[in-house]
Structure 1
Amino acid sequence: MAGTGRGRVGVLLPRDLDAARVLPFARRADELGFDELWVVEDLGFRGGVAQAAAVLASTSRLRVGVGVLPAGARNVAFTAMEVATLAQLFPGRLDVGLGHGMPAWMRSVGQWPASPLALLEQQFGVLADLLRGRACDATASAGPVRLDGVRLDPSAVPAQVPPLLAGVRGPRSLALAGRAADGTVLAEPVTPEYVRAALEQVAATGPHLVVAYNAAAVHPDEATALAAARTGLEWIGEPDWAPHLAPLPFAADLAALRRDCGSREEFARRLPDAWVHRLAVTGTPEQARARLAGLFAAGVTSAVLIPTGDDPLRALEHLATVL
C-alpha cells in the first residue's frame, strides 16, 4: 500500500473535470502510485458506472471505487449486471458504494422511496446474492425490491465479488452498514473523531472497510496549502454536514461562524487555520502524512483525497508527495 503502510491512499476524480482531462488524470494517479481512484455519481454530472469502466480500462493497477450509486435510481438486477461485468473484466480492482442518494436530488427525479432504509438494506442482500449466482425471488417479501426468479447467467457471474459499501451518514443508516455491507463510505470532512463515532454506530461484528473522503491540499509552503484547502470546505457549514462535525470540540463555534457569514465563501475564508488542519488533509507533506496516520489509527482503511484549487492535475502532483 502507498503512503503510511497502514491503509490505502486514494484520490477522488473531480466530478466537473473537463472530459478531455478525465483519463489523463486517472493515468497520472496510477503512475504516481495512488492505491485507489474513486468516482462520484452526482445528479447532473457523469454516471458512476461509465466513469469506472473508462478508468479501469485506461489504467493497469489502480483499484477503482464507485461512490456512490443511489439505491432508488436503478433496478437492483440491472445494477448487478453492471457490477458483475466490471468485476469480470477487471477482477480485484473494483469497490462499489450504494447509498440513499441526496434526498432533494432523488425527489427531483421522482425516485425517493417510501422507505429509504428498507430499500437500501434489501438491495445489499439481493445484489450480493445475484453477484454470487443465486436466484432471487423477492415478490413474496414485504420489502420494496420486487424480483421474480431473477439470476445472472453463469457466464456473467464474477469469480470475485467486489466489496459492497454503504455511502451513508445517519445513525440508522450506519447501523444498516454494519449489518448489510462490507464497509462504509464516509463523505467529507472525516476526522478521527467522526470515524470513531461512526464506527460505534456501525457496530460491525466482523471486518469492515472504512473509506474516508477529505478535501486535500499539500504544498511545501503550509500557508499555500491551507489557502487551497479552504475551497474544499465551503459546504461543511450546511445542515447536511452536521453529523460530521458533532464529535469535534469546536462544532458549536463552527456552526455559529456559519450563521454569522453571509456566504459559504466568507465562511471558508474565516475558518481558523487550526480548524482547517482538523477538517482537511493539508499542510506540508509531513503534516498531511501525520493527518493520514491519525485517520488510519482511528479505523480508516482507505483515505481518499479530494483535490482542491484551480488545477486538479497540478494538485494531484502535490498530493502524491504524501505517498
Structure 2
Amino acid sequence: MDRSGSVGVMLPRDLAPSAVLPFARRADELGFDELWVVEDLGFRGGIGQAAAVLAATGRIRVGIGLLPVGARNAAFAAMEVATLAQLFPGRVDVGIGHGMPGWMRSVGEWPASPLTLLEEYLVAVTALVRGETVEPGRYVGLDGVRLEAACVPTDPPPVLAGVRGPRSLAVSGRVADGTILAEPTTPEYARAALARIDARRPHRLVGYNVAAVHADAAVAVEAVRAGLEWIGEPDWAPHVAPLPFGEEFAALRRECGSRSEFVRRLPEEWVRQLAVTGTPADARARLAELFAAGVDSAVLIPIGADPLRAAEELAAVL
C-alpha cells in the first residue's frame, strides 16, 4: 500500500464514557495517524472530546468532525479552536459543516442561505485563528473582532469543510484548507468531489469509510454491512452517482421496504466498493486506490459490538 496518505480511525460517537479515553490511547499506541471525533446532535460535543483525547495521548493527530455553523458564534468557535491549537500544536484539525438540515431545524438554526453562512463562517474562523481581523457579513456579524496576539497559535490549525453537494464543495475549494467527505468515500466519489472543489491552493481531502478486516474476507464483508444502512437515503446520492452501479443501487433501494432489507441485499461486490473491507491485504489495496484518487487522509469507522477490538483489527492495515 502507498502510505503517501494518512490512515485514521474514528472514535465512535456512542462509546461508553469509560471507554472514550482508553479507545483514544489505544489508537495512538496502534500507530494510526489520526483520530477523528464526532459531533452529532444528541451525542457528545466535538470540542470537549477533542480536548480530552488530545490531553490523554501524546502523538496522534485529532480531528473534529463536524462543528455545525449554526451551533456556535464564529468568534467563540475560533477561540476554542485556537486554544486547542496552542495547547497541542500541530495535532489539531477542525471540520466545519452545514449540519444535517433536520437537526439544525430542530434547534432553530437553519438559515435562509446555508451556502452564504457556511462561506462566511469558514472565512471568519480561518482568519481569526491566524490573528486576522474579521468584519461583518450577512450572517456572521463580527465587527472588527480579532484574537489577542498572545492567544493566536503559532501553528494555526487547518480549517476543513465537511460537505457533499456540488455548490458546497465549490465553497470549500474557494475558502477552506481542505474538505471532509462523509462515508462512503470511493475513488470515483473522491475524483468527482475534487473536480467540484477545484481549489487554487493546497487543499487536503479527508475521506471517511466504514471498515472491517478479518483473515476471512467473507467475515469482514458481512460485518461491515451494518455500517452501510443509511447510504441508500437521498442525502447520500452524491456518493453513489459516480459509481458504475449507481443506477442499479438506487433501483435496489426503491425496491426494498426498509434499510435493513436493502443492506442485506447489497451484492458483495458493491459492499467491497462501498467500504474498506476484506482481508488486511484487501483493505490495504483499497486504501492505495483511495490515495491514488486524491484522498490525503483515509479515516476508518470501526464496525461491530466491540469498537476497541474492531479498531485493533483495523490496525492490521498499517
Does the pair score TM above 0.5? yes
Note the C-alpha offset of 1:149: 2.2
Q: Which residue in the other structure is 2:27 paired with?
A: 29
Higher mean C-alpha deviation, range 247-256 or range 210-219: 247-256
Q: Does 1:214 align with 2:209?
A: yes
Distance 2:193 2:309 in 1: 33
Q: Does 1:299 align with 2:297?
A: no
Q: Which residue in the other structure is 2:279 paired with?
A: 284
Identity of aligned residues (%): 70
Q: Which residue in the other structure is 1:123 paired with?
A: 121
Q: Does 1:235 align with 2:233?
A: no
Q: Secondary structure at the match of 2:209?
A: strand
Give the conservation status (yes or no) of the 8 Å contact 2:212–2:310: yes
Q: Does 1:74 align with 2:69?
A: no
Q: Secondary structure at the match of 1:73?
A: coil
- Rate the CA distance shift 1:205–1:137 in 2: closer, same or farther, 3 A: closer
Give the conservation status (yes or no) of the 8 Å contact 2:3–2:288: no
> Per-residue displacement from partner, 1:100-128 (whole Å, max 9, x unpaired)?
00000000000111211111111111112
Distance 1:213 1:168 in 2: 12
Runs of 4+ in 1 over 6 A off after TM superposition: none
Higher mean C-alpha deviation, range 93-102 or range 127-136: 127-136
Q: How does 1:140-151 map to 2 (within 5 A)?
A: 141=137, 143-151=138-146
Distance 1:171 1:160 in 2: 31
> Per-residue displacement from partner, 1:86-105 (whole Å, max 9, x unpaired)?
00000000000111000000
Q: Which residue in the other structure is 1:105 paired with?
A: 103
Q: Secondary structure at the match of 1:177?
A: helix
Q: Which of residues 38, 41, 62 is equivalent to 2:39?
A: 41
Q: Which residue in the other structure is 2:175 paired with?
A: 180
> Per-residue displacement from partner, 1:191-239 (whole Å, max 9, x unpaired)?
0000000000000112110000000000001111001110010111111
Note the C-alpha offset of 1:289: 0.3
Distance 1:128 1:235 in 2: 32
Higher mean C-alpha deviation, range 270-279 or range 125-134: 125-134
> Per-residue displacement from partner, 1:128-172 (whole Å, max 9, x unpaired)?
22112222231xx4x211112211111211111101100000000
Distance 2:29 2:263 in 1: 33
Q: Which residue in the other structure is 2:11 paired with?
A: 13
The residue identity in structure 1 corresponding to 2:204 is: L
Cα root mean square deviation, aligned: 0.9
Q: Which residue in the other structure is 1:50 paired with?
A: 48
> Per-residue displacement from partner, 1:284-303 (whole Å, max 9, x unpaired)?
00000000000000000000
Q: TM-score, normalised by structure 2?
A: 0.98
Q: Secondary structure at the match of 2:41?
A: coil
Q: Which of residues 257, 264, 268 is equivalent to 1:269?
A: 264
Q: Which residue in the other structure is 1:200 paired with?
A: 195
Q: Secondary structure at the match of 1:214?
A: strand
Give the conservation status (yes or no) of the 8 Å contact 2:50–2:64: yes
Distance 1:245 1:119 in 2: 27
**Unaligned 5+ runs, structure 2:** none
The residue identity in structure 2 corresponding to 1:320 is: A
Count of residues in correspondence between the two structures: 318
Q: TM-score, normalised by structure 1?
A: 0.97
Distance 1:251 1:136 in 2: 43
The residue identity in structure 2 corresponding to 1:276 is: V
The residue identity in structure 2 corresponding to 1:53 is: A
Distance 1:148 1:181 in 2: 22
Give the conservation status (yes or no) of the 8 Å contact 2:209–2:299: yes
Distance 1:263 1:308 in 2: 20
Q: Does 1:315 align with 2:313?
A: no
Q: Which residue in the other structure is 2:150 paired with?
A: 155
